[in-house]
């Protein structure tokens, strides 16, 4: 299907005023991603993924109506897609996002509360493992990359 008019209508339904230019950026990003990134079985650049990202964008827009629509859509696209990209595809995708959304920061914002909870869970797990009760043998370490992945996984689960 032609994703641009579908994307435009869904953006309008989610409350975006500048739906047409945003839909063009969205579809361009997905088209270029499907062409330039490696072929992975878990990549989905189709309608199902488009709908999920647009729901996230609408939720962000309603939660923060004072932020510009470009920033909202860029954040939704980044936050939804970055966690599933392997290391070698990540710079390509982030460069595509930066090209389509110039002058916007592509730095991710992390849920610090969830990060703290994950850190505590790792510590509790390690302590239980040392107590010899048979629980907590996973030896989880509170490394920054692991904690960021926990936060990103939760964000994806919140969408699906």
Query: pLDDT tens for residues 53-67?
Result: 999 999 999 988 999
Look up tokens 């939704």; give the residue.
76
Q: What is the mean pLDDT of residues 153-160?
A: 68
Helices and strands, number each (H, E), in the chain: 7, 0
Q: What is residue 134's predicted lDDT score, i.e. its pLDDT?
A: 45
More confident of the two residues 110 and 105:
105
Q: Indicate the pTM of the whole model.
A: 0.72
Q: Does pLDDT of 42 surpass 80? A: no
Q: What is residue 96's predicted lDDT score, i.e. its pLDDT?
A: 95
- Rounded to the nearest integer, the mean pLDDT of the chain is 83
| Domain 3-100 grouped into CATH 3.40.50.300 | no
Q: What is the mean pLDDT of residues 21-28?
A: 97
Q: Does pLDDT of 133 surpass 70? A: no
Q: Does pLDDT of 155 surpass 60? A: yes
- State how far the Cα of 136 lies from the Cα of 10, in Å rounded to an integer: 45
Q: Does pLDDT of 106 surpass 70? A: no
Q: Residues spanned by CATH 1.10.8.710 within the chain?
A: 3-100
Look up tokens 């797990």; give the residue.
125
Exposed e or buried b per residue across 40-68, where buried means at least 16 C-beta atoms within 10 angstroms of its C-beta: eeebebeeeebebbbbbbbebbeeeeeee
């Amino acid at each position: 299907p032609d994703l641009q008019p579908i994307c435009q209508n869904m953006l309008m339904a989610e409350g975006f005023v500048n739906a047409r230019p945003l839909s063009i950026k969205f579809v361009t990003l997905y088209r270029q991603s499907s062409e330039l990134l490696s072929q992975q079985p878990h990549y989905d650049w189709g309608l199902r993924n488009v709908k999920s990202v647009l729901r996230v964008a609408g939720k962000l827009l309603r939660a923060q109506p004072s932020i510009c629509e470009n920033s909202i859509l860029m954040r939704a696209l980044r936050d939804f897609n970055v966690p599933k990209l392997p290391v070698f595809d990540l710079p390509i995708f982030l460069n595509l996002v930066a090209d389509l959304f110039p002058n916007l920061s592509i730095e991710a914002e992390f849920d610090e509360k969830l990060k703290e909870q994950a850190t505590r869970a790792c510590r509790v797990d390690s302590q239980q493992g040392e107590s010899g009760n048979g629980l907590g043998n996973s030896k989880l370490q509170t490394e920054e990359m692991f904690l960021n992945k926990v936060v990103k996984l939760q964000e994806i689960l919140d969408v699906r």
